[in-house]
Each structure stands twice: as structure tokens, then as C-alpha cells.
Chains A and B, each alone.
Chain A
């Protein structure tokens, strides 16, 4: 599905990624773990075409998408849910969803407004409200729903559990399980090991812009020194 090889990315002279390699299989949920500033978000943004200065290979469904503009990557079936949510505060919930709407694809499940409101009942109640009037958890739901309106095959979820209440985190885990049931592939970046273990099939750990662990959660649990070294605060 997605193959990233030897990805380097920089902002000006600041090198953020030093040869990141990872892959995501069909209908797989994979977590990218790491501390703040390790390079998780930059990896996500690079895949999405939102970082200009980068080298390496990014292959999606056998096609190189390195250097493509982000709207073309989105249209190829990649959905992106940014870390800072970035909902449109001056638009209503419905209008936010409208911005994300794209035509149905044959090779991906279709998400209708009704289906999404079923999945996110809070949003349904607040469909006429402005984005800025929503709570943090509702905004997080809205940003995922907005991306699903594009009927993606693969979703990049950047820190979905960050800064939201525990009860919403639980809801978030259900949503990710639903995405997997629907047949989507999901790449999640996370700092929270417990949440990641709950929702994903396997994990990478990124530290200082390089992948330093690639394996299962079982192996991570048996070797606590790995998570102590790379994830403990």
C-alpha cells in the first residue's frame, strides 16, 4: 500500500528526517511511536506532500508520490488528519465536511453524511454550529470525519489521542477499529503506547529522525528497555 524508503526531510537547514523507512500493508493499522520532536509529524506531512525539501522514495500503490502536490496525493486516496486538528473555525460542521467531500471511489468504502453522523453522534447534534464552537474532542472527531468525506483508501492519523479527554480517547479507539473493519489502511503517529497498542497491529519507533524499532507490540512488551529508552519521558 505505502512504502517509504530512506526519506530525508528538512526545513531550511534544520534536518528533521534522516532516512526514515517504513511500510504499511493493505488493511493494516500501524503505529509510528516517538517522543515530541522525533519526526513523526514531519513523516506524515512528507507523505502528504506538505514538506517541500525532501529526498528518498515514497511509493503509494506502486506509484511514486514524492514531489506531488498534496491535493493530488489526496485525490489518489490518501486522507490526512493533522495533529493540530486544523478545522475551519468560521465554517459550520456541515461546511467543514463539505470541504472534505470528494467523489466516491470504486476501490474504497464510501462515507456518507448519514454514516459519519452515526459514527460521530455528537457532530450530528452540532451540525449547524461553527467549528470554533466545538469542544476539543468534538473538533478531533470533526477533523477525522472531514477526512473520511474524501473516501480515502489510506488514512494518516497524526496523534489522534493528544489533548482529549479519556472518554473521547476510548471513542477514538472505536473509530479506528471501524476504519479497519471498513477495509482502510491506517498509519497512526502516537506518543501514547497504551493507546497505540490498543488500536494497531505493529509499530515503528522514531528517534531523532530515524526509525530505531520495527516490530510487534509483543516484542516491545517483552523488552521494556526499548520503550524506556525511546518513549519514556
Chain B
């Protein structure tokens, strides 16, 4: 009995720090509608700063708590700077574009932290005055855990008072519902957004700072927490602070007991809980359907068929690509295969997001299933390359058929989160199920057939499959099915009113996008000769997202620009020291220069140079 009670207390202590970071994320999303990937970085920097200040001050109980607060306050100021210098300039950009900027911030923070604090994990001191354990029902419980259990509800109460007893809090809650209306009532949204961002960053910094007596401070803290924090926010309902608290407790306590029964589950448990909650309550436990009035967004332009001139340019580019192996070195052909794989992946994601209006944070799931299906057919069933290539995309389609059925029941960020949950569950299973998938060691020796083993020949296989896939998706986008999908994207209710089965069309759109992502995964698997769980991971999903958003979601050419630029730049900068810093900086520059993505920026450039012509890169 005592053991289970101790386990419960551990769960509650974990819940406190999870709640702190999630509540900040929820507040930022509620007011600004920004999905802040940099929130994990705030958490990590809070921990590093606290470590530095605590060890420098070394000032007993008072010094310890002062350091924690000071670290959180500094993170708040960093949040303010980011909001004012970057995010404030791009609030008008298409929804979710700000996410790209926050991802650039993540990269910059990773290398900045590495440069300042080094790669070694840092072990913080114990909290003075709370450094022992007390016995409760015979089990030793760290005093610091008890303090954390108290801090969570205390912060919740503080936020509640702030939100209900101050004018600022009332304005924040009003803005969470309808920020345009709050502006029309005379409130300067810019300051409201800044303040919400500062508060959110402060809470994340506090969550990180409070961790230093419990765990080593490391460079992996940012990405290890962000997924779980998103899950908590979504389960609670985005924008709901009390929801975040309930969800943090739910996840942490469930986890504390689940690992007793089935230790492997802890990696996927939060995502399973999220999936179940979202299927039962599409807006989370305490969430509400978002306001219709998030802003007067302009309707999307219809897609145009390409003008003759741009068709010529495109054909010329394809021809150059086709003949490139004749004149370039092998490693260029290999790089170009990477580019084509990334492009097909990005185009398939764009089909889902730009054409289908369904944002995915977990598109890697289908890429990875395609790659693993091909690898396993070759390794375990002795298939040849071609049959494996042909069959594997159907497995991706099957996975998309299964997960898509759940996902299309939701919309917006909730849909995106459920796609992420699907991908994380698949990733977790692949990672843990050593006997079947090889686990962390992956599957090796997935090489192309003898006749296709030269880099040049494989280039042409990839060329045919990837360009064929891209061509197919373009055709579908311009087919009646594509029109229907775009109609649903622009107005679900109107599409329903004219008799379209919107869910079914979205579901099929999901499957088409998933299958083609699977095809990209297959080409990828044979080009690398191996597959690892990374192919299903969050990083792979985010890469695709960045390609699509950076390229420009409103243009069919967007993902092509985005993927080519992304792979080329990545290939170049990863050879440099502190490449994440440089890469993040480049992303921020592109974001600020072209808030409509690269395709939009190119279009504007063409119009500026040739004022009489319409930009053709649609």
C-alpha cells in the first residue's frame, strides 16, 4: 500500500512541472494562436540559467528560491524579445506559419545553449532545506517532491486569480475567445500578445528551473518535454489552464502506475491517452470549439493551371535533372535522390494540408511505414526490390486508412495533434518492439537489386517514382476529387449543404497523401540501405512541415521550393560548426522576408521585375 502511495506522490510531483510548462504553452496558444515549438527551449534555458545562478550564488534557502525565480524571469524577458522582434512581424501570415519561426528559434537555442554551457550534462545541487526524504507509510519520499506537489496547485491558483481578478486577465480570457473583437473594443493586441508570451515563457522557465534538483540539465531537455507538453495542452483543451492541470495530473499519475505493469508503455502512454480523449471529446476535456472570428482571413485564390511559360520552365528543370547523372559526380546523384524523396514527401504533405486543409504534425508515420514495410519484405520475406517497392505504399495506405478514420473527425490543431499521436504511437512501437522491427538498431541491408545498385541507375528509379508521384498528386489536385477537397477546406458547412460527404472525402485525401508519403519512404529506404525508427519520428514530421510552410502553403509549387531549399541548405550547413544556429537563422530570415513562403516571395519578385506579368509559379 505504502509503495503505491509513494508512486502516486511521484506522479503528482512530475505533474507539477509538466503543468507549469503546459500552462504556459496553453496561454500562448489561447491568446496568440501560435503553436510554440520553442516552448521546450524556454524550459531548457530556464533549467540552465537556474543551474548557473544557483551555483554562482550558493546562498542557502533564500538564494535557491531567488535563483529559481530569477531564472524564470530571465526566460520571460527572452520570450518578450522573441515576440517583439520576430513573431510580432508575422501575425498576419497564414495560420501556422509562425510555427516555422518558433522552430527556427528551437534550432538557434540548441546551439546557443551548447556554446554557452557545453555538451556535458550538468548536475544541479539539491534544494537547501528540502534535501532529505521523509517517510510516509514507510516509504521514503523526497521532501522536494512534496514541495513540487504544493507548487503546482499554488501556481494554478495564482493564474486563476490573475485571470479572474485583474483587468489584464479578463482581457486575456476575452482575447482567447475573440481577439479581433477585443481590438475593436480599444485594446492594443500587440501588448496583450507580448504579455501572454512573457507569462508563458516565464512559466516554462519556472518549470525548467524547478527541475534542477531532480534531474541533470541536458541539451535534450527541450525536445524531450515538448511532445508531452503539447499532449497535456491538447488533452486539457487548448487555452484552458485548469484543463492543463487536470491533464498533467492524469498523464503523470497514469504513467507512474503504468510503468509498474508494463514499463515499455511510458514512451507512448501520453499519446494513447490523447488519442482516446480526442476521439471522445474532440476539443479536449475543457476546450471549446474555437471562435469563428479569429480574424478576417482572406479566402484562398483558386489554383490555376500553369501558364505555358512556367510549363516550359518546369520541363526545362526536369530535363536538367534527368540528364544530371551524365555530368555530375556520384555524390551529387545521391544528394539529388535525397532532394527528390524530400520533395515527394513534402508534396504529399502539402496535398493533405494545402489542398485538403488538414494540418498534420505526424506525416512521417506514413513515410516510415512505407520504408519499414519495404525493408521487412526484403529482409524477412525475401522479396525483390521491385515487388517490395510496389507493395510497400499499400501498407502506408492501410496505416493512413486506419489513423485517418479517427483524424478526419477532428479539425484544426486538434487534428494535427491526433496525427502526431498516431505517428508517436507507431514510433514507440517500432522503437520498443526489438524482436520484430529491430528496435533502435533498425533494419540493415535493404539494398537495391543488383542491376540497380549503381548510384546512377538508382537515381533513375528514384526519378521515375518521385516525379511520377508528384505528377500524380498534381493531377489529383486538379481533378474533381481535388476540387471537392478544396471546397471542403474553404467551407465544410457549405460543402455538406450541397451534399458532399465531407468526412469521406477528407478520409480519402488522407489516404492518398499517406500512400505517396509511403512511396517516398520506400525510395528512401533503398537509397540508404537501412531504416531506423527516426523515419517515423517527430523530427521527420517537422522537417516536412517546415518544407511545406517555408515553401508556401498556398501554391502547388510551394512544397517543391521548400523541399529543395531545405535539403540543399541542410546539406550545406551540416558540414559547419554550430550548423543548427545557422540553419535556424536562415529559417528566421526567410520567414521575415517572405511571410507568404518562398513560392509567394518568388511570385512577388517576378511581379516586381516584370510588372505586366502575373507570377506564374502557381
Contacts and interface: CB of A to CB of B under 8 A. Distances in A.
Interface residues of B, number: 26
B185 A90 contact: no
Interface stretch (B293-301, B395-403, B573-581): B293-301
B127 interface: no
A57 interface: no
Nearest to B298: A12
Interface stretch (B78-86, B167-175, B362-370): B167-175
Interface residues of A, number: 34
A91 B298 CA distance: 29
A50 B292 CA distance: 15
Q: Mostly helix, strand, loop or mixed at chain A's interface? A: loop
B154 interface: no
Contact of A99 (B180, B187, B189): B187
Interface string A23-63: 00000000000000000000001001111110000000000
A124 interface: no
A45 B188 CA distance: 17
Contacts of A48: 184
B608 interface: no
B296 A150 contact: no
Contacts, number: 79
Contact of B182 (A12, A13, A53, A99): A99
Interface string B183-199: 11111110000000000
A100 B184 CA distance: 9
Given A88-B173, A99-B170, A70 B298 contact: no
Given A70-B184, A100-B185, A146-B185, A90 B177 contact: yes
B298 A75 contact: no
A102 B186 contact: yes
A96 B178 CA distance: 12
A84 B291 CA distance: 12
26 contacts: A11-B296, A11-B299, A12-B298, A50-B183, A50-B184, A51-B296, A71-B184, A71-B185, A71-B187, A74-B186, A75-B186, A80-B184, A80-B185, A82-B184, A84-B292, A86-B181, A88-B178, A89-B177, A90-B176, A90-B177, A91-B174, A95-B170, A99-B182, A99-B187, A100-B186, A150-B186
Given A99-B170, A150-B186, 6 more contacts: A13-B301, A71-B185, A74-B185, A80-B185, A88-B174, A150-B185
Interface of A: 11-14, 45, 48-53, 69-71, 74-75, 80, 82, 84, 86, 88-91, 95-96, 98-102, 146-147, 150
Interface of B: 167, 170-171, 173-174, 176-178, 180-189, 288, 292-293, 296, 298-301
